[in-house]
Amino acid sequence: MVGHIASQPHQMQLSKRDFLNRPVALSFAEFITGALCIFESIWKVRNDVRHGGHHTQISVAIRAIRVRYRDHQSCIMPPRSKTELNLTPPPGWMTCCTDVSIDTNLSVAVQNQFQRVGFFCDNAEVVSNFSETNSHNIHLNLAGAAAKFRSTSLQLQSVQLSKIGKEQNFMAHNAAKWA
pTM: 0.49
Average pLDDT over every residue of 160-171: 82
pLDDT at position 62: 92
Distances (CA, A) of 52 to 46, 48, 55: 10, 6, 9
pLDDT at position 179: 53
pLDDT at position 38: 93
In sequence order, what E strands does the chain have? 94-98, 116-121, 158-163
* Contact yes or no for 169/126 (Cβ under 8 A): no
- Sequence spans of domains, the chain: 28-76, 94-178
pLDDT digits (tens, 9 = 90+) for 21-79: 777 788 888 888 899 999 999 998 998 888 888 888 989 999 999 988 888 887 776 66
The dihedral through the CA atoms of 45, 31, 64, 78 has a sign that is positive
Q: What is the 3-state secondary structure (H, E, C) of 86-105?
A: CCCCCCCCEEEEECCCHHHH
- DSSP state, 115? S
Average pLDDT over every residue of 70-94: 76
List, in order, residues 6 or more apart from 163 with CB less than 8 Å away: 120, 121, 122, 124, 127
pLDDT digits (tens, 9 = 90+) for 135-163: 666 777 778 888 888 888 888 899 998 88
The pLDDT of residue 5 is above 50: no
The pLDDT of residue 176 is above 70: no
Q: Where are the alpha helices (DSSP H) in 51-141?
A: 58-74, 102-111, 124-131
